[in-house]
Structure 1
Amino acid sequence: MALIQKSGGINGFVDFMLHRLRLVSSQKSSLMLSYFIGVVIFIESSITSLIAGAVGRPFCHKYKIPQAKLAFVCDSTSAPISSLLVFNGWGALLLGLISTQINQGQMEGNAVSILIESIFFNFYAMSALVVTFFAVYFNINIGPMRYTKYMPSTKQTIINTKTSMSYMILPITLMIVLVFLFLYLSGDGNILQGSGSSAIFYTVLSTLIFTLIYYVPTKNMTLSIWGNTAYKGAKELFPIAMILLFSFAIGEVTSELKTGEYLASLADENINIYFLSTIIFLVSSLISFSTGTSWGTFSIMIPIAVPMAITMGVDVPLAIGAVISGGIFGDHCSPISDTTIISSMASECEVIEHVQTQLPYAIISALIATSLFVLFSFY
């Protein structure tokens, strides 16, 4: 992603959407463009927010759109889409956490297939995307959003570049194709039986080599710039590597302490199994809201939720889906969340205003998700 950003491919894509297609002619079409940009750029939640904000900001000024609305669109398409299309760091983290549970003997099965099944139960992310779409398309303003106003800014920046968007499109397309190819190869013809970690590793390595033989010969960047950019991009992943390391450590500790089994024994006496996934969703939401991190919530709750689900006879992918949904919901509502802050920054909106205006929509999505968790618990 550091190389793609350095190549100018993202700016070329934004320029193509802004100046060549010319699809925007109103407030609604402006926000819909940012919405679809947020859905298309699913590689990383922060990048999703930044690009959607970069696309929508010029139109905010042109059509006097309240910045809070743009921040709402940026935030509501970042984490949800990244957690649904998991060809990214989100998928790597979840795959690692699920694999850890399998390796520790907590459950059986293939990590990739369990992750894919869990995604279908990521009800909050799905609800948030649907609610945001209807809110933008039908101009539904509820709560504080009814009173938010456009604020003029001196930082009006319209992206205009001659760099081809192929520098972004080709590597991302190749990466998506190669994920399935390596899953197919490592699974001896069965994608669901493939090694997720190996597939991601070889995909990223292959895509990295592709950028070398594509960017340098086309004089997009020199070999030195390519190397320095790749190094800086890798260095930025160090904190994520530490999160993964400590999250696996937390998972090991909670497994050794039998935390999940203990909570399951308490819940088995006091909680109906049909409400377990809903409770997992609510607890995950609380942790995520308090800490401002969905990834940290996944690391804490998956080692607890999986043993609870197995002990009480609840579908494991449903429980994992509840953890993912709760992590995203709490993250959406939290004023200390990185995606909340980045979405506000990218849209030139105050953080507190963004939190207040987005909260009613997030609660509606959460209520829909809660209903679905209860409903699917009966199947």
Structure 2
Amino acid sequence: MEYGILSIVPPVVAILLALFTKQVFLSLILGIFSGCLILTGGQFFAALNMTLEEVVAIFSEAWITKTIIFSFLVGGLITVISASGGVQGFINYLTKKKKLIKNKRGALFLAYVIGLVIFIESSITSLVAGTVARPLTDKYNVSREKLAYVCDSTSAPVCALIPLNGWGAMLMGVIGVQITNGVVNGSAANLLIRSIPFQFYSIIAILAVAYYIITENDWGPMKKAEKRAAERGLVLREGATPMVAEEATATPPKEGVKPNKWNMILPLLVLIAMMPVGLYLTGEGNLLQGSGSTSVFWAVITAVSFAGFLYVWGKIMTLKEYIDYVYQGIGAIVPVAILLISAFTIGNVISDLQTGEFMASLVAGRVNGSFGPAIVFLLAAVMAFATGTSWGTFGIMMPIGIQMAVAMGAPLTITIGAVISGGIMGDHCSPISDTTIISSMASASDHIDHVNTQLPYALLNGLMALILYLLAGIIV
């Protein structure tokens, strides 16, 4: 059944309520309910029951369940690393011993470099960058909104630009289907690699982060947030709700423990190293064919286990203390997990309503080939904003974009780059995006404050990318 214009009601309800009420969970639930109301033909009690059933049903998706468990375990890992004195030891090393981090610019650059270097998986990139840099950015009165922006605007873009990860596997998969179906010829890997120079938004986003760190020329809501933090020392807005409980994210070292940077570095190295190992094993020898969700799942379990062995064997804490700290961290992640569950659920409801297909139908067959990449970029951005998922957008828009490019005679590799860039841009702007939620979690920022401060930057970057797609479509 086609729902037409009604298919965009759930995302519109969720997004508007989130922006106006600042209650993300309530907004997502009401968005889910409105979608179920449409799916059940306006039957209130049937829609209420369906809402509950949809929440339960997401756990049938293995990758979603793994992502949620991953979030819980990362919370435990963050807390136990902090309690071991690892974070404090790393801060002391950078600020006192080596004196590498001397100001807010240096603290933000640390998060930026981590975001560029760890291109294995966007969630890991954000979480590691935020966890490591947050104590330093707090020390130099950097707003949590600015840290969240750095984490968010480096994670997904760099994962798309260096596709030796789950992102690459997913993108090659959706491109490969079009090759198998005879829509286009060639190799999925070759087409993806050739599209990298045309992922304009991703490239601009990464360069923009460096520009704002170096120049400190912030504007809009971000400027107000930075001014508040600099003048009043309030890294969080008064009344703001950090995505992770402060008692977990700022866990002091266990009494009597000597701060040691290796207590943080070693578990994180295990976390990062296990990701390509997981991709290699799940891809049966091919990193690009591996399962991203499974690899992330294995990586965090291995890192948590290694940390326990390291701390208990090194007599930093007893086994009971280690377990207690892990439980404390898991407990702090419960609000984040609830939001992720809600975000995934509304994504499924939107899929049932065929929101993406309806939006794509608005322009299919109605545009000139030279404008194809720009139109595809805009459509992917709007779709990702409305659905809250870049990967979901890739799954819907890549086939549509490739088929539109072939039908209109638009440049294929530019169109593929436009789909990827549009998906990431819309995801950066959306308050119901799971990756935006994770970036808020990584920086312990108020989620809506993160969305409000990042949105103007993402829109400006998107405008520049749109202009480049218009020019590229005409010139190439």
Task: State how far apart, in whole Å, the 2-side matches of 1:362 and 1:59 are.
Answer: 25
3-state secondary structure, aligned to 1:165? helix
| 1:137 corresponds to 2:214 | yes
How many Å apart are 1:306 and its aligned residue? 0.6
| 1:18 corresponds to 2:91 | yes
Moved more, 169-178 or 359-368: 169-178
| 1:165 corresponds to 2:265 | yes
3-state secondary structure, aligned to 1:43? coil
Report if the CA contact (8 A) 1:50-1:342 is conserved. yes
Task: State how far apart, in whole Å, the 2-side matches of 1:263 and 1:152 are.
Answer: 44
Report if the CA contact (8 A) 2:178-2:184 is conserved. yes
CA deviation map 1:157-179 (0-9, x unaligned) = 27877547356547856876998
How many Å apart are 1:358 and its aligned residue? 1.0
User: How many residues are treated as equivalent by the alignment?
Assistant: 346
3-state secondary structure, aligned to 1:109? coil
How many Å apart are 1:129 and its aligned residue? 0.5
* One-letter code aligned to 2:123: S
1:372 match:
468
Please provide the CA RMSD for this pair.
4.5
1:128 match:
205
* One-letter code aligned to 1:294: S
3-state secondary structure, aligned to 2:198? coil
Q: TM-score normalized by structure 2?
A: 0.60
3-state secondary structure, aligned to 1:147? helix
Report if the CA contact (8 A) 1:58-1:158 is conserved. no
Report if the CA contact (8 A) 1:263-1:308 is conserved. no
* One-letter code aligned to 1:305: G
How many Å apart are 1:283 and its aligned residue? 0.6
Task: State how far apart, in whole Å, the 1-side matches of 2:411 and 2:131 are.
Answer: 41
Task: State how far apart, in whole Å, the 1-side matches of 2:81 and 2:173 are.
Answer: 29
1:80 match:
157
How many Å apart are 1:10 and its aligned residue? 8.7
| 1:281 corresponds to 2:374 | no
**Pair 100,143 (structure 1): closer, same or farther in 2 beyond 3 Å:** same
Task: State how far apart, in whole Å, the 1-side matches of 2:252 and 2:191 are.
Answer: 41
Q: TM-score normalized by structure 1?
A: 0.73
2:450 match:
354
CA deviation map 1:45-85 (0-9, x unaligned) = 12222221112221232112111111111111121112112
Gaps of 5+ in 1: 187-193, 223-235, 237-241, 243-248
Task: State how far apart, in whole Å, the 1-side matches of 2:128 and 2:310 are.
Answer: 25
**Pair 48,172 (structure 1): closer, same or farther in 2 beyond 3 Å:** closer
Task: State how far apart, in whole Å, the 2-side matches of 1:42 and 1:77 are.
Answer: 9
Identity of aligned residues (%): 40
Task: State how far apart, in whole Å, the 2-side matches of 1:35 and 1:128 are.
Answer: 12
Task: State how far apart, in whole Å, the 1-side matches of 2:149 and 2:310 are.
Answer: 38
How many Å apart are 1:21 and its aligned residue? 4.0
3-state secondary structure, aligned to 1:46? helix
Task: State how far apart, in whole Å, the 2-side matches of 1:123 and 1:13 are.
Answer: 38
| 1:343 corresponds to 2:416 | no
Task: State how far apart, in whole Å, the 2-side matches of 1:274 and 1:303 are.
Answer: 18
* One-letter code aligned to 1:49: S
How many Å apart are 1:375 and its aligned residue? 2.2
* One-letter code aligned to 1:364: L
Task: State how far apart, in whole Å, the 1-side matches of 2:160 and 2:88 are.
Answer: 27
1:320 match:
416
**Pair 145,94 (structure 1): closer, same or farther in 2 beyond 3 Å:** same
* One-letter code aligned to 1:331: D
How many Å apart are 1:299 and its aligned residue? 0.8
Report if the CA contact (8 A) 1:112-1:195 is conserved. no
How many Å apart are 1:110 and its aligned residue? 0.7
3-state secondary structure, aligned to 1:349? coil
| 1:115 corresponds to 2:192 | yes
* One-letter code aligned to 1:157: A
| 1:93 corresponds to 2:170 | yes
Task: State how far apart, in whole Å, the 2-side matches of 1:348 and 1:221 are.
Answer: 28
3-state secondary structure, aligned to 2:445? coil
